[in-house]
Amino acid sequence: MADKWLVGVDLGGTTTKLAFISLYGEIVHKWEIPTDTSDNGKNIIVDIAKSIDHHLDELGETKGKLKGIGMGAPGPVDMSSGIIYEAVNLGWEKNTPLKDLLEVETGLPCVIDNDANCAALGEMWKGAGNGAKDIVAVTLGTGVGGGVITNGDIVHGSRGAAGEIGHITVMPVGGFRCNCGKTGCLETVASATGVVRLAVKALEESEEQSVLRSELEANGTISAKEIFDAAREGDALAVSTVDQLSFYLGLAVANLGNALNPDKIVLGGGVSKAGEVLLTPVNKYFKSFAFPTVSASTAISIATLGNDAGVIGAAWLVKNKLD
């Protein structure tokens, strides 16, 4: 049994990451495939099953080597039934029985959770969580996701939507419209697209010179990375944009901290690659908004697993939830 592999799958709207992982959480073999969202996503599950078979063949192994499949999926998931709700960016109609479909196609036991929850579990098991049992993980990517872990397990809520940190309202007045239909969500200002939105608005409203203005005029667009790079170099408009993002993010995580008092708040996703230029101002605002006991006992850190967090967390599900 000790040499069995866990399969971790991180299902994304553009790319699906897969890995064979040991029972100790070490990646044995990893790869990715494009996510085919055409025809209402009808090929997605078949593609995953075929890809697992193909990579087993390449490695000279059989299905008997695999203990089961864990999957992180982008949307609220009912863990007991394995149904995913409202996976609009996959082309699926509402309420897709993901667990049943995957088990039929692969012949392996499967367990499904939300993708941000899996990233949180991955960081707890092998990453920045470092053995802590009470963690809030915030994934700052194209959108903003989150996972809340208390006493070593994910909090799901009554319909799998706990930890929707991206939809905490941080701009109750004059906020930007969010994909969820609300306005003023954290996701609209703290995601990769959100920080660009803040910078473009600042450029429109001021005459201030900035390398970002030159970039926008030359290319018609700017990226989150360019904003953080400019802030690191001391560009005033970029610094003020990052400060604005950090204010909203610091406010949101302070409120989460006050409600949950976790050991750690872990910032992951592409935006977190900015490192200290983001972490320092977020910490400042967190401390100014957090209850003093929370401020003293909860540490904010950058995630360490990068793109592997989701597959490692999905494998954790196989190890801990299938038995």
Return the CATH number at 89: 3.30.420.40
The per-residue b/e assignment along 82-113, b for 16 or more CB within 10 angstroms, e otherwise, is: bbbebbebbbbeeebebbebbbebbebbbbbb
Average pLDDT over residues 208-215: 93
| pLDDT at res. 322 | 86
- Mean per-residue pLDDT over the chain, rounded: 94
Based on its alpha-carbon atoms, the radius of gyration of the chain, rounded to whole angstroms, reads 20
- Same structural domain, 64 and 167: no
pLDDT at 199: 97
- Count of domains for the chain: 2
Q: Give the residue-averaged pLDDT of 11-32.
A: 95
Higher pLDDT, 40 or 163: 163
Residue pLDDT, tens place only, 28-74: 999 999 999 888 888 999 999 999 999 999 999 999 999 999 999 98
What average pLDDT does the segment 213-224 reach? Answer: 92
Domain identity same for 158 and 228: yes
Q: Do 157 and 192 belong to one domain?
A: yes
- pLDDT value of position 312: 98
**Strand segments (E) across the chain:** 5-11, 15-22, 27-34, 66-73, 77-78, 83-84, 96-97, 110-114, 135-140, 144-150, 153-154, 264-268, 299-302
Residues 143, 285 within the same domain: yes
| pLDDT on residue 9 | 98
* Tens-digit pLDDT profile for residues 233-270: 999 999 999 999 999 999 999 999 999 999 999 999 99
Same domain, 167 and 287: yes
Task: Quickly count: other Cβ atoms within 10 Å of residue 147's Cβ.
Answer: 32
163 shares its domain with 274: yes
C-alpha dihedral (119, 313, 19, 304), degrees to nearest 10: 50
**Under the phi-then-psi rule, with left for phi > 0, alpha for psi from -120 to 50, and beta for the rest, what region is 153?**
beta
List beta partners, residue 31.
18
134 in the same domain as 114: no
**Domain coverage including residue 158:** 130-304
- Say yes or no: 194 and 240 in one domain: yes
Q: Above 90 in pLDDT, residue 212? A: yes
Asked if the model's pLDDT at residue 1 lies above 70, the reply is no
Asked if the model's pLDDT at residue 316 lies above 90, the reply is yes
pLDDT digits (tens, 9 = 90+) for 78-134: 888 999 987 777 878 778 899 999 999 999 999 999 999 999 999 999 999 887 999
* pTM (predicted TM-score): 0.89
Confidence tier at 2 by pLDDT (50, 70, 90): low
Residues 276 and 316 in one domain: no
pLDDT tops 70 at residue 323: no
**Four-residue CA torsion sign, 294, 295, 298, 302:** positive
Mean pLDDT of 289-311: 96
Please indicate, yes or no, whether residues 19 and 148 belong to a single structural domain of this protein: no
* Residues 147 and 112 placed together within one structural domain of the fold: no
Q: Among positive and negative, which fits the CA dihedral 119, 304, 232, 251? A: positive
Report pLDDT for 230.
97
108 and 194 together in one domain:
no
The backbone torsions φ and ψ at residue 149, rounded to the nearest 5 degrees and listed phi first, read: -115, 125
CA distances from 70 to 209, 266, 300 (A): 49, 22, 28
